[in-house]
Chain A
Amino acid sequence: GIQVEQSPPDLILQEGANSTLRCNFSDSVNNLQWFHQNPWGQLINLFYIPSGTKQNGRLSATTVATERYSLLYISSSQTTDSGVYFCAVEAQGGSEKLVFGKGTKLTVNP
């Protein structure tokens, strides 16, 4: 099945810093989503981005489908950005199933 690798596994930042999270996947995809899991476990949809670039406030994401990777950019980080960021993909010709990466744990210190 499709493999999803996220890097880095852990990231510690000072408030105000910028960061880039990476998601590599091993096959062509129909769907790619970025999520933020808050401390209570809720998965928050950040982006649906199987290709191209999107921006939402301080967050933006780019997926280069031909090279099988996606990047999540967080600018001017805040303490509330702390949590785990997951990338999840649905393989082409698949069955709507999302395969999750292991996540990047982000800690933003004041």
Chain B
Amino acid sequence: GAVVSQHPSRVICKSGTSVKIECRSLDFQATTMFWYRQFPKQSLMLMATSNEGSKATYEQGVEKDKFLINHASLTLSTLTVTSAHPEDSSFYICSARDIGGVETQYFGPGTRLLVL
């Protein structure tokens, strides 16, 4: 149980385009999902907290107009990287907390974004 999926697993796009990444909790409901970013050989940095039915909460230094987050249901959150630039190339990982479980967060497999 407690599986989180992400789609796509890998994406290459041209500079200036937008990319949408989906995060789904497959066998549980999550009122809160989280989006992280990881650069090579570094740790995970929280970008934003996604709350079902309300606006996301962004961490300091994260541009909310560049990284659009939508949490439309208890099992789906999306991250859209708008007008992507090469410096946005990174590994993006989502996590979700089971609404009915303990405080464990479950992580998706991640999405590798390469902006040319």
Residues of A participating in the B interface, judged by any CB pair closer than 8 Å: 30-31, 33, 35, 40-43, 45, 48, 50, 86, 88, 90, 95-103
Contact = CB atoms under 8 A, between A and B. Distances in A.
Contacts of B45: 100
Given A41-B112, A42-B109, A100 B104 contact: no
Interface residues of B, number: 23
Contacts of B95: 98
A43 B49 contact: no
Contacts of A41: 38, 91, 93, 109-110, 112
A102 B34 CA distance: 18
Given A40-B109, A41-B109, A41-B112, A97 B43 contact: no
Contact of B103 (A43, A96, A102, A103): A96
A4 B91 CA distance: 21
B93 A43 contact: yes
B71 interface: no
Contact of B106 (A45, A50, A96, A99): A45
A49 to B, nearest CB: 10
A98 B105 contact: yes
11 contacts: A41-B93, A41-B110, A42-B109, A43-B44, A43-B110, A48-B102, A95-B49, A95-B57, A96-B49, A100-B43, A102-B43
A96 B104 contact: no
Given A48-B102, A48-B103, A97 B34 contact: yes
8 A-B pairs with the lowest CB-CB distances in the bound complex, closest first? A43-B107, A48-B104, A31-B103, A41-B110, A100-B43, A100-B44, A102-B43, A42-B109
